[in-house]
Amino acid sequence: MSEKKIQSALISVFYKDHLDSLVKLLHEQGVTIYSTGGTQEFVEKLGVPVVPVEGLTGYPSILGGRVKTLHPKVFGGILARRENAQDLSELQQYEIPEIDLVIVDLYPFEETLASGASEQQIIEKIDIGGISLIRAASKNFKDVVIVASKAQYPLLEETLRANNGSTTIEQRKVFAGFAFEVSSHYDSAIFNYFKSDAQGQVFKQSYNNGSTLRYGENPHQQGVFYGGLEKIFDQLNGKEISYNNLLDIDAAVALIDDLDGTAVAILKHNNACGAATGASVKEAYLKALSSDPVSAFGGVIVINKKVDLDAATELHKLFFEVVIAPEYDEAALNLLKEKKNRIILKRKPVAFASKQFRSLLHGVLEQDKDTKVEVLSDLKPVTDRKPTDEENKALLLAVKLVKHSKSNAIVFAKDGFMVTSGVGQTSRVDALKNAIDKAKEFGLSLDGAVMASDAFFPFPDCVEIADKAGIKAVIQPGGSVKDQDSIDYCNKHNIAMVFTGFRHFKH
């Protein structure tokens, strides 16, 4: 029979939020409730009769609560197949009551891990009884309803009210699907905690609470974001964040976190079209905007300091999709909110994962994030002329910016800002020429600027072209079999060049 009326329920939960109305409904519908520990006390305080699990099993909760429901009289009542005569006979023989509904959740393993708790505290939050109950009830969905999260309480309550305490097999299967999502996510988190080289190359990641986006990269593509954006930002204004917004926001946050002082970056299609540091947010923004005011239109602006009214007044003159900052003055926020679709994000302090991955070819690529940020001691001079102090500052800024640019990439910088860049080219020479052409287009002088490359120069042509454009200091990883050709050219033309030993490809 597809439709079954719930006559008995086992309730054992860690979180009691919104449980009261559900318990009262079950009582109204004549359901016998079994429970244990804190949940039993909770039910009793509601004035609802409850049968202690200990009374059913004949055993108390033991081992500090590690063993409560792990008993044949519990699992037999859940797993018994109601259409199987042998199963029903054994239930009768061993005086095991049928259990038609299981409401259970799991210890907060991920939350405990994230809190920085000790290993012993983390281990104690690995649920045993709960996960076993979820699997048992889900396996027997033909006869049993499983609710494995408080997120499903409203759906269960709605179902029971609509059907006078009964459920269909289709509804029970839906609840079982929710339950296996909970258990698989939980087990993935535990696996990643224990994961070591001994397991070999195994990839398991789980994200829940997906958000359907308006569309994907293009309108004809569907898109979903899996993750907790609310843990990273408060959205203070604006329309729904799009797929492409998310890509730019991710690139923007990664870039700004590498910059020192008061910094602003403007991004378009995951690349910086302007970036600068300054004495104020306003100054840094205007310097960043000067690099490429055309590309800045419709871009994403990221700032690492509070946005005041002076800065907001300048920002407000430009059409942009998103602004990100750790804080906003009230007057600044009110001004920026005048554009109702403008997305305003306030960053929260949060640590990001050290790994990144992407799907391709029916598989997944995983790697360590490129967290290398060059410092002065990483700069190894290889030419006769050494960079000046000012050139070193510009070189360090340029190499941070080129790290966050699509390869092949060239960045010119001076005076605390990115003059121009050439990005995403199949040839390093083309990237260089694009950067030079852009500087000319916007009337930006390259005299005194430095050049950064995300990878080595296989030939001396790049330093030669840069020299003729006015560049007098270069930073690159080095590593080409023909490094000496570029070094020789620099020595001949009084150009300072440093190697870092770190390549920064970005694809």
- To which residue do tokens 């409203």 refer? 154
- Tell me what the mean pLDDT of segment 386-400 comes to: 97
Q: pLDDT digits over 376-385, tens only? A: 999 999 999 9
Chain segment 79-122, per-residue pLDDT in tens: 999 999 998 998 899 888 999 999 999 989 989 998 889 999 99
Place of tokens 């000319």: 440
Confidence of residue 308 (pLDDT cuts 50, 70, 90): very high
State yes or no: cis peptide before 408, omega within 30 of 0. Answer: yes
CA dist., res. 321 & res. 237, Å (int) = 11
pLDDT in tens, 246-297: 999 999 999 999 999 999 999 999 999 999 999 999 999 999 999 999 999 9
Helix locations, 58-151, DSSP H? 72-79, 85-93, 109-114, 119-124, 129-139
**Residue pLDDT, tens place only, 219-234:** 999 999 998 899 999 9
Measured torsion, CA atoms of residues 75, 77, 78, 83, in degrees rounded to the nearest 10: 130
Give mean pLDDT, residues 402-407. 96
Decide if 418 contacts 255 (C-beta within 8 A): no
Contact 343, 323 (CB under 8 A): yes
Using CA atoms, how far apart are residues 367 and 356, in angstroms rounded to an integer? 6
Which residue has tokens 């590690």? 66
pLDDT given at position 1: 54
The pLDDT tens digits for 122-142 are 999 998 889 999 999 999 999
Q: Is the pLDDT of residue 57 over 80?
A: no
Looking at the predicted structure, is the pLDDT value of residue 149 above 70? yes
Alpha carbon distance 236, 330 (integer Å): 12
For 476, phi then psi, to 5°, come to -155, 165
For 144-166, what is the mean pLDDT?
Answer: 94
> How far is it, in rounded angstroms, from Cα 124 to Cα 492?
67
Active site residues: 139, 269
In whole angstroms, give the CA distance from residue 226 to residue 247. Answer: 13
Q: How confident is residue 66, by pLDDT bands cut at 50, 70 and 90? A: confident
Share of the chain above pLDDT 70, in %: 100
Query: Who has greater pLDDT, 496 or 17?
Result: 496
Residue 179 tokens, joined = 């339950």
- Per-residue pLDDT, averaged over 347-373, amounts to 92
78: tokens are 């859940």
Model confidence at 304, in pLDDT bands (50, 70, 90)? very high
Q: Evaluate whether 146 touches 102 at the Cβ level (below 8 Å).
A: yes
pLDDT digits (tens, 9 = 90+) for 339-354: 999 999 999 999 898 8
HSE-up of 243 (CA within 13 Å, CB side)?
13
pLDDT at 268: 95
Return all residues near 441 (Cβ < 8 A) that are at least 6 apart.
Answer: none
* Token pair belonging to 10: 């086992």
Report residue 51 as tokens: 């049968």
- CA torsion, ordered 25, 30, 32, 38, to nearest 10 deg: 30
pLDDT band at 455 (very low <50, low <70, confident <90, very high): very high
Of 117, 353, 399, 120, the closest CA to residue 258 belongs to 399
Are the beta carbons of 87 and 75 closer than 8 angstroms? Answer: no
pLDDT reading at 388 higher than 60? yes
Give the model's confidence band at 14: pLDDT under 50 very low, under 70 low, under 90 confident, else very high.
confident
Confidence of residue 54 (pLDDT cuts 50, 70, 90): confident
Give how far the C-alpha of residue 369 lies from the chain's centroid of Cα atoms, to the nearest Å: 13
Q: Is the pLDDT of residue 458 over 60?
A: yes
pLDDT tens for 242-251 read 999 999 999 9
Average pLDDT over residues 464-478: 96
CB 254 within 8 A of CB 371: no
> What pLDDT was estimated at residue 61?
74
For residue 3, name the pLDDT band (cuts at 50, 70, 90).
confident
Task: Confirm if 274 and 256 have CB atoms less than 8 A apart.
Answer: no
C-alpha closest to that of 67 among 80, 50, 54, 52: 54
- HEC readout, 284-346: HHHHHHHHCCCCCCCCEEEECCCECHHHHHHHCCCCCCEEEECCECHHHHHHHCCCCCCEEEE
